[in-house]
A = this chain, B = another copy of it.
Amino acid sequence: MPAELSWNRYGKCHVRLVKVRRSHDSHEIVDATLDVQLEGAFAPVYIDGDNTGCLATDTMKNTVYALARHDRLDHIERFALRLADHFAAKPLVSRVAISALEHHWSRVSVNGRPHPHAFTQTGGEHWTTKVTRDADGTRIASGLTNLNVLKTSDSAFAGFPRDELTTLAEADDRILATSVTATWTYRRGTTDFGVRERIRAVLLETFAAHVSRSVQDTLYAMATAALEACGELTHITISLPNRHHLLVDLKPFGLDNPNDVFVATDEPYGLIEATVKRT
């Protein structure tokens, strides 16, 4: 049957890039999801199974990370232009499209000042409340969910046990990123529900200021700070998914990676949960 390949395009989608720019005083973070798409004289790949001209999409991904190493990434448009230049110079390519989705982070405010290396993302945060009434009376548990936070320093994880299946390296300076879900129980008779703004502020400030030895350590600091700040609370339960940011191995490309270029991952993720109560 006479058929013709009338259009084709291929590439790599959802390349998750996180870049930290570190200066003496403070850090900046760029968080983006990139797509690379190529069009060109690729018909033999489709029709003849001939891959000699088919740049692997895995190589496109590597290119994003390698070029990010020495790019300031001050405007995502400029980085996209640079990627477009790179791929336009490859054989067979007649059209390059680089698409990026940039995820904005704001600095956490501590004592009214922007924190040098702790960030928050307001997307999707909700206040929650659950009122339960039965023969034992009425209980009110309020909270928040989807409070996204990330810090680029003051987070370590070391000294953990190593069994025959352990490969994780010790980390003395890693990215810690999570999405806070917190639920606190009010003392019976509480009527001032406006305290939740204060609890939220304390959770954020503690996340930012705490020097973390583990997610558990951070969680406990946040929980006790909330109990301390608000006498109306009797318990607080916090759940912290550990949204791993993995340092990209750039050695194959002759590049170092001094805590600079990361891939943000969705799964698997660690999940740390605990309840702390006032005694």
- A interface residue numbers (CB < 8 A to B): 1-16, 35, 37, 39, 42, 45-47, 49-59, 61-63, 66, 75-78, 80-81, 83-85, 88, 90-91, 94-104, 122-135, 138, 140, 142, 145, 157-161, 163-168, 193-194, 213-217, 219-220, 223-224, 227-228, 235, 237, 241-242, 252-253, 266-279
Q: Are B131 and A84 in contact (CB under 8 A)?
A: yes
- In the complex, which residues of chain B have a beta carbon less than 8 angstroms from the beta carbon of A90? 163
A76-B129, A100-B129, A133-B96 are contacts. A55–B276 as well, Cβ < 8 Å? no
Q: Are A94 and B134 in contact (CB under 8 A)?
A: yes
Copies of this chain per assembly = 4
Looking at the complex, which one of B97, B134, B138 makes contact with A131 (CB distance below 8 Å)? Answer: B97
A45-B217, A51-B158, A76-B127 are contacts. A269–B59 as well, Cβ < 8 Å? no
- What is the CA–CA distance of A80 and B166 in the complex, to the nearest angstrom? 20
**Top 8 closest pairs, chain A to chain B, by CB:** A49-B213, A14-B267, A57-B270, A8-B274, A95-B134, A102-B127, A80-B131, A58-B168
- In the complex, which residues of chain B have a beta carbon less than 8 angstroms from the beta carbon of A242? 57
Q: Are A13 and B269 in contact (CB under 8 A)?
A: yes
Given A75-B194, A164-B253; 9 other pairs, CB 8 A cutoff:
A1-B224, A5-B276, A10-B215, A15-B267, A51-B157, A51-B214, A57-B270, A58-B270, A101-B126
Q: Are A277 and B6 in contact (CB under 8 A)?
A: yes
Q: Are B102 and A279 in contact (CB under 8 A)?
A: no
Q: Are A45 and B12 in contact (CB under 8 A)?
A: no
11 contacts between A and B (CB under 8 A): A5-B220, A5-B274, A7-B274, A10-B216, A12-B271, A51-B159, A57-B268, A77-B129, A90-B163, A97-B132, A99-B129
- In the complex, which residues of chain B have a beta carbon less than 8 angstroms from the beta carbon of A37? 271
Q: Are A269 and B12 in contact (CB under 8 A)?
A: yes
User: Distance (Å) between the CB of A131 and the closest chain B CB?
Assistant: 4
